Amino acid sequence: MRFLLYTTGDNTQPSAPPSQQMIDEVGKFTDETRRAGILLATGGLGPSTTRVRNSAGKLAVTDGPFTETKELTGGFALIEVKSREEAIEWAKRFRKIVGDGDSLVQEVFGG
């Protein structure tokens, strides 16, 4: 089973850049997921978002709002595991490292 794990956050509020210690710990965690053979793809998410919305056939594109920061504001991981619970367990471990905020866990079909 494949799951997409990704962080959601409030991009409008400038956040303090992550400490070197946190960056190292996230790196170690990523290695651990590779060592466990579950990581298919991963990457960071940039700060700017563009929303494309279809409302009754009318397409609206909204940019931003952007923060001043150029830092990554989140990340995603596509993992292959045995169960949703296993995906949740990995998400919990990630959250313990990066602290406050939300991670979402969604099953991916097809591919």
Residues that bind another protein (CB under 8 A): 28, 31-32, 34-38, 40-41, 78, 80-83, 85-86, 88-90, 96, 110-111
Question: Residue 11 CB, nearest distance to another protein (Å)?
Answer: 27
CB under 8 Å to 11, separation ≥6 — which residues? 47, 48, 49, 65, 66, 67, 73
Residue 50 parent element (H or E) = strand 50-55
Q: Which two tokens stand for residue 73?
A: 């504001």
Residue with smaller CB distance to another protein, 32 or 107:
32
Rounded Cα–Cα distance for residues 82 and 105 (Å): 14
Residue with smaller CB distance to another protein, 32 or 102:
32
Residue with smaller CB distance to another protein, 70 or 93:
93
Residue with smaller CB distance to another protein, 64 or 104:
104
Question: Residue 104 CB, nearest distance to another protein (Å)?
Answer: 17
Provide, for the chain, the percentages of residues in helix, strand and coil under a 3-state DSSP scheme, each rounded to the nearest 5: 30, 35, 35
Question: Residue 89 CB, nearest distance to another protein (Å)?
Answer: 4
